[in-house]
């Protein structure tokens, strides 16, 4: 084998076997190969169950992980298929105590089964980690999250989803 071709080939093989933490993962996250290389995280909270997130994006990330953990049997752990069955966007509010105040379908393709699943998984997860006080506006936090559904009815949340497969 030509040495010029062999070294990049070997390097790419080892890179493909890597279990490094994705660049968007929080520091200290442990990668679980059983989750398709996604970080196996638990949401960090203070003693009173307040999220340690410092930004709204960080808090949304915490909520997405919590929803996925509680509803793990309905979550697709590999890359989502190229053409999704449905995308359901929910708008919801979490109060200062982590309670789900309200939820509504913000956008959908009118697939009633996936709409129902998205709303049910959100409600099943409550109460959530409490939002940090500095994120509250009028006593609550507004969140928009997208549920990405494969044909089999399982989903990933857009905030923590793996890239979709190519066609």
Kindly report the average pLDDT of the chain as a whole number: 82
Model confidence band, residue 2 (pLDDT cutoffs 50, 70, 90): low
Name which residue leads in pLDDT, 124 or 25.
124
Is residue 159 within 8 Å of 61, Cβ to Cβ? Answer: yes
Q: How confident is the model at residue 48 (pLDDT cuts 50, 70, 90)?
A: confident
56/143 Cα distance (integer angstroms): 9
Token output for 78: 């590999």
Statement: residue 135 has pLDDT above 70: yes
Confidence of residue 71 (pLDDT cuts 50, 70, 90): very high
Closest Cα partner for 152 from 116, 114, 107? 114
Span 15-23, mean pLDDT?
A: 40
25 vs 125, higher pLDDT: 125
Q: Is 12's pLDDT higher than 80?
A: no
Residue count of the chain, please give it: 167
* Residue ranges of domains in the chain, CATH in brackets: 24-160 (3.30.1150)
Res. 21: pLDDT tops 70? no
Task: Supply the pTM of this predicted model.
Answer: 0.74
């Amino acid at each position: 084998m030509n040495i010029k071709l062999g070294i990049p080939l070997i390097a790419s093989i080892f890179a493909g076997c890597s279990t490094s933490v994705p660049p968007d993962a929080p520091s200290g996250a442990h990668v679980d190969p059983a989750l398709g290389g996604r970080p196996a995280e638990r949401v960090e909270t203070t003693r009173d169950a307040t999220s340690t997130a410092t930004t709204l994006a960080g808090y949304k990330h915490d909520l997405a992980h919590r929803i996925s953990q509680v509803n793990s049997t309905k979550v697709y752990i590999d890359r989502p298929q190229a053409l999704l069955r449905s995308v359901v966007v929910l708008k919801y509010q979490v109060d200062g105590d982590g309670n789900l105040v309200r939820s509504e379908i913000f956008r959908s393709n009118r697939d009633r089964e996936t709409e129902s699943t998205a709303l049910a998984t959100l409600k099943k997860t409550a109460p959530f980690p409490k939002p940090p006080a500095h994120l509250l506006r009028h006593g609550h936090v507004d969140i928009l999250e997208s549920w990405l559904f494969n044909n089999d009815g399982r989903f990933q949340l857009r905030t923590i989803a793996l890239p979709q497969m190519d066609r």
